[in-house]
Amino acid sequence: MNGPDLGPDELAAEHEALLSFMYLSPVGIVRSDLAGNVDMMNPMAAQLLMPLAQGGELANIFDTLAPVAPELRRLVAEFTRERGPVCENRRLYVNPARHHPAVLSCSIIRIGAGFLMTVLTDISRQVAAERQVRQTESWLAGIYTSVHDFAFFTLDAQERVETWHPSIERLTGFQADDIVGRPLDIFYAPGEARPGRLAEHVALARDDGWHIEECWCATRSGERFWGQILVSVLHEDGDAPSGYSVVIRDASQRKVTSDNLERLLTTDHLTGASNRAHFFQVAEAEFTRARRHRRPLSLVMLDADHFKRINDTAGHTAGDEVLQQIVREAKRTLRAADLIGRLGGEEFALLLPATTRQEAAAIAERLRVAIEQLPIETGGQMLHATVSLGVAALGKTQAELDDLLAAADRALYEAKRAGRNCVRVEDVVKSEQGTTESTKGDGEARHPSPSAGEAQ
């Protein structure tokens, strides 16, 4: 800018142009002092930061970003130059339960002795594309280096094995007579062929052009191996698929390594439940799948009753043991396809694919009883814990996963209000009127948790 050579009118015009640029910019721009106190923010920045706002408050950029980037305040404090970039294109993983944004790129520039400019960009699609490229490269590398670990064949338009290749016998032991004319799930290990799984796999391949499913597979002799099954669509003249090409890969050795890494990245270290980020990633995928294929999906919010009292009277070690036992009991109660995630503190969520509202309520009640009857021994004393659970199922009015979470959270609130140690079910049809069903059908809590003695 040529500020010293401009008159007041020209300076005002340039200032107005700068403000217009800032407010119309497709990226988020925030100006703040060195302590993070915001004095200017464009609409895009407010939109990107709103999922992180506590009570809708965006007064301090460091406070707002603290849940996903607590180190930013320290980086600014350690930056000694008067001007320059404090950090560039730092990736921030925002609440995965929301569709936009999921991943932000953050750059902070010190623009003078007392000011910072923070630039935020939604790079969710870029990150997803990078992930898909890495997956494709991994597959190609595997084919080039370990061709003997693959089986190649095709399916007809009715999704049955059409051709046989020697690689199938090499990998699985099946002869042509064993598999030609049979559905793809002949390769699934016992227990893996849940209802609708194969149809879902093929439907996803039709939607995206190709799809990879990972599951336990079995050879002709019954030996299990961890398989990656790639199904890609073959087209003729019309839009309808003429068939599908299939590649099955034995990924057992990779699974051993990746499972160890996955546990580190996706598991809550204290309880063994799925961590918050991983739970929401899986929940988003299941929500989209259930919507697309019109299949049931339920979600249960679970909260340990009077948990603060347990911590205060029996100690934090005892509280940790209670949370661990709740998760262990949940894993014993839930099915292989279900998932329990720790959302924070004593709050958990259960994801129940292909499960109706009534089925989910029965599962929640079974878990509630199991935990209530569970003796928990810690530090030489015996504890008894209870939980409150709120159940919600996917309905026509729920456009996003957040809507399903909110419905389950309302049901959980009703369970707590009813005296805790009970299950409440959100009635999606009547939710606009605030109606919440009881699993007992009478609207009363039948199993109130003890007002005292949880830590006895």
Q: Can you list the alpha helix ranges (DSSP code H) found in 111-266?
A: 124-145, 166-172, 176-179, 197-208, 252-266
Does residue 443 sit within a domain? no
Does residue 278 sit within a domain? yes
Q: Which residues pair with 282 in a beta bridge?
A: none
**Closest Cα to residue 342, out of 273, 401, 267?**
273
Does a cis peptide bond (omega within 30 degrees of 0) precede residue 353?
A: no
- How confident is residue 179, by pLDDT bands cut at 50, 70 and 90? very high
Measured CA to CA, the distance from residue 63 to residue 107 in angstroms comes to 16
**Closest Cα to residue 454, out of 407, 420, 427?**
420
Residues 240 and 271 in one domain: no
Residues 205 and 231 in one domain: yes
Q: Tokens at residue 281, please? A: 């990633």
The domain of 62 spans: 3-124
Asked whether the predicted pLDDT for residue 437 surpasses 60, the reply is no
Lowest average pLDDT, out of 76-85, 87-96, 249-258, 321-330, goes to 249-258
Residues 240 and 285 in one domain: no
By three-state DSSP, how is residue 338 classified? coil
Does residue 344 sit within a domain? yes
Does residue 444 sit within a domain? no
Residues 303 and 410 in one domain: yes
Does residue 455 sit within a domain? no
pLDDT at residue number 317: 87
By three-state DSSP, how is residue 104 classified? strand
Last residue of a domain, one of 237, 257, 277: 257
Whether the CB-CB separation of 278 and 266 falls below 8 Å is answered with yes
Helix axes 276-293, 401-417, angle to 10 degrees: 110
Measured CA to CA, the distance from residue 168 to residue 188 in angstroms comes to 14
Measured CA to CA, the distance from residue 201 to residue 159 in angstroms comes to 11
The most confident of the ranges 16-20, 125-129, 392-396 is 392-396
Report percent pLDDT > 70 for the chain. Answer: 79
Does residue 426 sit within a domain? yes
Residues 230 and 101 in one domain: no
Residues 277 and 224 in one domain: no
Measured CA to CA, the distance from residue 192 to residue 202 in angstroms comes to 16
Residues 177 and 277 in one domain: no
pLDDT of 145-174, one tens digit each?
A: 444 478 888 999 888 999 888 889 989 999
Q: What letter represents residue 218's amino acid?
A: A
Asked whether the predicted pLDDT for residue 114 surpasses 90, the reply is no
Residues 242 and 299 in one domain: no
Q: Tokens at residue 153, please? A: 């064949």
Report percent pLDDT > 90 for the chain. Answer: 37
The most confident of the ranges 21-35, 95-109, 189-203, 325-339 is 325-339
Residues 225 and 284 in one domain: no
Last residue of a domain, one of 74, 89, 124: 124
The enclosing domain of 352 has a CATH number of 3.30.70.270
Last residue of a domain, one of 89, 124, 159: 124
Domain count, the chain: 3
User: Which one is predicted more confidently, 124 or 244?
Assistant: 244
Q: Tokens at residue 277, please? A: 């980020």
Residues 273 and 418 in one domain: yes
pLDDT at residue number 3: 44
Q: Tokens at residue 444, please? A: 């009363």
Asked whether the predicted pLDDT for residue 428 surpasses 50, the reply is no
Measured CA to CA, the distance from residue 262 to residue 251 in angstroms comes to 15
Measured CA to CA, the distance from residue 394 to residue 274 in angstroms comes to 21
Residues 118 and 156 in one domain: no
Q: Tokens at residue 244, please? A: 């599908």
Does residue 215 sit within a domain? yes
pLDDT of 379-422, one tens digit each?
A: 778 888 999 999 999 987 777 899 999 999 999 999 999 999 99
Q: What letter represents residue 217's amino acid?
A: C
Does residue 452 sit within a domain? no
Does a cis peptide bond (omega within 30 degrees of 0) precede residue 101?
A: yes
Residues 409 and 334 in one domain: yes
The enclosing domain of 78 has a CATH number of 3.30.450.20
Pairing mode, if any, of strands 241-250 and 150-156?
antiparallel
pLDDT at residue number 60: 94
Label residues 54-82 b or e (16+ Cβ within 10 Å = b).
Answer: eeeebebbbbbbbebbeebbeebeebeee
